[in-house]
Structure 1
Amino acid sequence: MTFNAVDVIRVKRDGGVLSDAQIDWIMDGYTRGAVADEQMSALAMAILLRGMTPPEIARWTHAMIASGERLDLSSVDRSTVDKHSTGGVGDKITLPLTPLVAACGAAVPQLSGRGLGHTGGTLDKLEAIPGFRATLTNDEFLAQLRGVGAAICAAGSGLAPADRKLYALRDVTATVEAIPLIASSIMSKKIAEGTGALVLDVKVGSGAFMKHVDQARELARTMVELGGAHGVRTVALLTGMSTPLGLAVGNAVEVAEAVEVLSGGGPADVVELTVALAREMLDLAGLPDADPAAALRDGRAMDSWRALIRAQGGDPDAPLPVAPETEVVRAAADGYVSTVDAHRIGTSAWLLGAGRARKEDSVSASAGVVLHRRPGDEVRAGDPLYELRAEKADRIAPAREAAEGAVEIRSTPPAPVPLVMERIG
Structure 2
Amino acid sequence: MMACIQFLLLFCSFMYIFNVNPSCAQIPNSPIRSLVLPVTKDPATFQFLTTIYHGTSREPIRVVLDLGCPSLWLDCSSGRLSSSRRLIPSCSIQCAAAKPNNMSCAFSAAMPTRKRTACGLSTENSIARSATRGELVEDILTVESVDGSKAGPVTTVDHFLFSCAPRFLLNRLARGAQGMLGLGKSRIALPSQLASKFGLQRKFATCLSSSDGLILFGHEPGYDSIFGTEISRSLMYTPLVTSPDGSGSSQDYSINVKSIKINGKRLSLRQKGIGGGTKISTTVPYTTLESSIYSTFIKAYKESATNNYFLNMTVVAPVAPFGLCFSSKEVPSSMLLGPMVPVIDLVLQSEMVKWRVHGRNAMVPVLDEVMCLGFLDGGSKSKTSSSIVIGGFQLEDNLLEFNLGTSMLGFSSSLLTRHTSCSDYHTRMMQSTLKDS
* TM > 0.5 fold call: no
Structure number with larger C-alpha Rg: 2
Tell me which protein shows more helix as a share of its residues: 1
Normalised TM-score (structure 1):
0.26
Normalised TM-score (structure 2):
0.25
